[in-house]
Chains A and B, each alone.
Chain A
């Protein structure tokens, strides 16, 4: 299962790679990283059919996570990947918007990796 993680913080890559070290090694998950909304769109255009799931931050400079979500739902309606949005603690506005524009799930920072792992595995198995 290929997962695209979108976050403006480059350290997210190291964190995910270490957190999912075992899963990556045994081939359960494959992670790709984009460090802005624009980069994510570019990546999706070249790897449209590969990406099964997108994990995106909302507060990013330039294109925000919500805009990215809107753009994906509008421009790629045929093969909609599962999209999970991540944002700061207790941000109800963003939650409502994310759900309104078609997000599949919503996570709050700090990300509980145990919970995320469980969710990803459910999707992987399902």
Chain B
């Protein structure tokens, strides 16, 4: 009977403490079966007239349970508590064993002791269980408190986490803003440096031009007058009575001298036109703004540049594409200066497409190449946007960075002064306080973007 109670409560205890019904249904099934088995065993015990054999079956049954408890990790936490039942079982076993092997007389002598030991072991078991139950309750209470604290902490943590997140987002936003401002500042600084460089170069250029102009004037004037002198000399010699052979010889020398003077004049004039180009830098801001039909101006200079190149190269051909803003009306600009800019940009564009065609004359891949120069104008939001683009040779990065510098040119000697774009830059950025930007892909084409405030 006591084994039934023991196993019954033990199984109940295990099921409750480990919550097997929820956590491991397989184990629970086994435990429920073990419970029925213990009930069956008890019933059999009484049915078979308190059979000693059935009584002995309790030991393997309980032994089996303990073996299970000690062989499975999931029982670890209740092992010590279950151990408290061992003394009782051992004492019972000793009693039963003694009853079995000792003669009745001798056993009866010690029966009382065994019974007493059994009672103590049972009491010890009950006390142990009671104590454990109490401890368990305290533990649970503490756990509950801890859980509550944890909940509070969790809530606090969440709140903090939220704050941190918010701050992080704010900081990231600020960082991005700062980065953007920094980028803008860097770009502006670069632009300032660039325009400052251009300005000082422009001033230097104009200064040099002024200094060169005077001596150059003398070269030109003296060489011109020398040509006249040579003619006079020739006339004078024809009047004298020198032998014809000598006259011829002298005239030969005079003719050479005259030719030399003409060459000096020719190259002097060439230098003079460069100096004039340089001086236009300083003159760039002298014009006055007046209401101008920019579309007509652009069209005029586009045609001028086109026919200028056609006059030199009869084979040259290009498509002129115009996309003018018809609603623009008249805009306040310096027409002569802006005209110079147009002439420069168009001349360059036509030159670039002509070069591309020339370079790829024998390349079958370019057989269908159609040179095209395009102008787009648009008045929008108080600003005048002008784009001049071509599908010509384009420029590598190394060239793009230098094109606005005075005297930088990629054209062969004598064909370009390297002043056109430098002057255009001055006219747009200084006289008109606008912007002149360029984008280009080598081999693909170039686009100049003028932005003017109006």
User: Which among A14, A21, A110 is the interface contact of B217 at CB below 8 angstroms?
Assistant: A110
The answer to whether A109 and B213 touch across the interface, beta carbons within 8 angstroms, is yes
Main secondary structure of the interface of B (DSSP, over half): helix
Is B218 an interface residue when CB atoms closer than 8 A count as contact? Answer: yes
Is A111 an interface residue when CB atoms closer than 8 A count as contact? Answer: yes
User: Which among A21, A89, A111 is the interface contact of B276 at CB below 8 angstroms?
Assistant: A89
The answer to whether A111 and B217 touch across the interface, beta carbons within 8 angstroms, is yes
- Distance of A115 Cα from B228 Cα, bound (Å): 16
User: Which among B214, B224, B228 is the interface contact of A109 at CB below 8 angstroms?
Assistant: B214
A78 cross-chain contacts in B, Cβ below 8 A:
none
Known: A89-B279, A92-B286. Contact between A18 and B225, CB under 8 A?
Answer: yes
- Distance of A21 Cα from B216 Cα, bound (Å): 22
- Distance of A99 Cα from B220 Cα, bound (Å): 28
The answer to whether B221 and A89 touch across the interface, beta carbons within 8 angstroms, is no
B218 cross-chain contacts in A, Cβ below 8 A:
9, 11, 15
Proximity string of chain A (1-41) to chain B, C-beta cutoff 8 Å, 1 when within and 0 when not = 00000000101001100110100000000000000000000
Chain B, residue nearest A90 (CB) = B283
B224 cross-chain contacts in A, Cβ below 8 A:
113
The answer to whether A18 and B229 touch across the interface, beta carbons within 8 angstroms, is yes
The answer to whether B220 and A15 touch across the interface, beta carbons within 8 angstroms, is no
- Distance of A108 Cα from B222 Cα, bound (Å): 17
The answer to whether B217 and A109 touch across the interface, beta carbons within 8 angstroms, is yes
Output the least CB separation between A114 and chain B (Å): 10
Is A88 an interface residue when CB atoms closer than 8 A count as contact? Answer: yes
User: Which among A14, A15, A92, A110 is the interface contact of B272 at CB below 8 angstroms?
Assistant: A110
A15 cross-chain contacts in B, Cβ below 8 A:
218, 221-222, 225
A18 cross-chain contacts in B, Cβ below 8 A:
222, 225, 228-229
Proximity string of chain B (192-229) to chain A, C-beta cutoff 8 Å, 1 when within and 0 when not = 00000000000000000010011011101110110011
B217 cross-chain contacts in A, Cβ below 8 A:
109-111
Output the least CB separation between A124 and chain B (Å): 20
Interface of chain A residues 47 through 89 with chain B (CB within 8 A): 88-89
User: Which among A21, A88, A90, A110 is the interface contact of B221 at CB below 8 angstroms?
Assistant: A110
B232 cross-chain contacts in A, Cβ below 8 A:
21
Proximity string of chain A (91-117) to chain B, C-beta cutoff 8 Å, 1 when within and 0 when not = 010000000000000000111010000
Output the least CB separation between A101 and chain B (Å): 21
A111 cross-chain contacts in B, Cβ below 8 A:
217, 221
Proximity string of chain B (223-242) to chain A, C-beta cutoff 8 Å, 1 when within and 0 when not = 01100110010000000000
- Distance of A49 Cα from B206 Cα, bound (Å): 41
Residues of A within 8 A of B (CB): 9, 11, 14-15, 18-19, 21, 88-90, 92, 109-111, 113
Residues of B within 8 A of A (CB): 210, 213-214, 216-218, 220-222, 224-225, 228-229, 232, 272, 276, 279, 283, 286
In the assembled complex, 12 residue pairs joining A and B whose CB atoms fall closer than 8 Å, in A order, are A9-B218, A15-B222, A18-B222, A18-B225, A18-B228, A88-B210, A89-B279, A90-B279, A90-B286, A109-B213, A109-B214, A110-B216
